[in-house]
Homo-oligomer: A and B are copies of this chain.
Amino acid sequence: MNPICRLFNIKYPIIQAGMVWCSGWRLASAVSNAGGLGIIGAGSMYPEVLKAHIQKCKKATDKPFGVNIPLLYPNIQEIIDIVIEEEVKIVFSSAGNPATWTKILKNEGIIVVHVIANTKFALKAEEAGVDAIVAEGFEAGGHNGREETTTLCLIPMIKAAVQIPVIAAGGIGSGKAMLAAFALGAEAVQVGSAFAVAEESSAHPAFKHKIIGATEGDTRLALKKLVPVRLLKNEFADAVANAEAEGAGRTELAELLGRARAKLGMFEGDMEKGELEIGQVSAMLKAIRPASVILEEIWQEFKAEMARIKQLQSELGL
């Protein structure tokens, strides 16, 4: 049995990424009900909002689901308390040091996975005792690693460095990309952008439509002097790009970013002034559909491509 399916007790080794303003209880429960692992993204939720989402998710599915917690969250202790009280079984942590919280969560019997973008943090996470790692490449949407290592280069490096299972993320929105991740040694995939446009995603409809209209080169890794983040091009992203080209420093960029700009764009639907986090794979997304259909399509294509690889063996005389 696949180690990630066994770890989470799920049918398909497909994880829905915890995404700010996209992945509430509706998306998480839809993915879990369809046989993947749904994840509530706590990063954009006040503690009470997260609590309500967890409670609704438990009612909406009897399958395993998880919560993604950015460890730099200001109310982190409160968030951790809620996750424990609500008996969440799976936590994906990101954006911070896993050493502090992993033991506390593990002591409560919670499965812990940490998101990293380089070998150094993969080793730190393994040392902290996490059960698996998400290794996320440069092409991923949202916050991103400083090394800019792509998924194709990152996964084999991480696999060579750690013993625990590796979940590949970044650029994976199809069965082909999923098979490529497995060829690189990943035991599962985390899919973000493709689920951001699911019907059950809480992203604003205008954002979903902008994503499915995106083409090559429409995303860019921005704000590297603050925290690198992959954004969809719009008025705000262009302003950032221009400021960066002219040598804007941290202070100027932080002012340009301001506050609550991701909410303004992704949740409230301001397509020009909002911050729109999405991956390069957005150029391949063409429709808004139920999460179950998206998941099933990835899985069916993965199986079909596996069969094609078998045919390749004879074509290559192997």
Chain A positions near chain B (C-beta within 8 angstroms): 1-2, 5, 13, 118-120, 137-139, 146-153, 156-157, 170-172, 174, 176-177, 179-185, 216-217, 220-221, 225, 245-248, 280-281, 283-284, 303, 305-306, 309-310, 312-313, 315-318
Q: Are B183 and A148 in contact (CB under 8 A)?
A: no
Q: Are B151 and A305 in contact (CB under 8 A)?
A: no
Given contacts A184-B180, A310-B310, contact A147 B217 (CB under 8 A): yes
**Cβ–Cβ < 8 Å partners of A181 in chain B:** 180
Tell me how many chains of this kind the complex includes: 2
- 22 sampled A-B residue pairs with Cβ under 8 A: A118-B217, A120-B216, A138-B139, A147-B216, A148-B280, A149-B217, A150-B151, A152-B172, A152-B177, A152-B180, A153-B281, A156-B176, A157-B284, A179-B309, A180-B184, A183-B305, A183-B309, A303-B318, A306-B309, A306-B313, A309-B309, A310-B310
Q: Are B216 and A182 in contact (CB under 8 A)?
A: no
What's the least CB distance linking A204 to chain B, in Å?
A: 24
Which single residue of chain B is at the shortest CB-CB distance from A179?
A: B183
Option from B183, B245, B306, B315 in Cβ contact (under 8 Å) with A1: B315
Residue among A180, A303, A310, A318 having the largest count of chain B Cβ atoms under 10 Å: A180
Which single residue of chain B is at the shortest CB-CB distance from A160?
A: B284
Residue among A147, A148, A157, A183 having the largest count of chain B Cβ atoms under 10 Å: A183
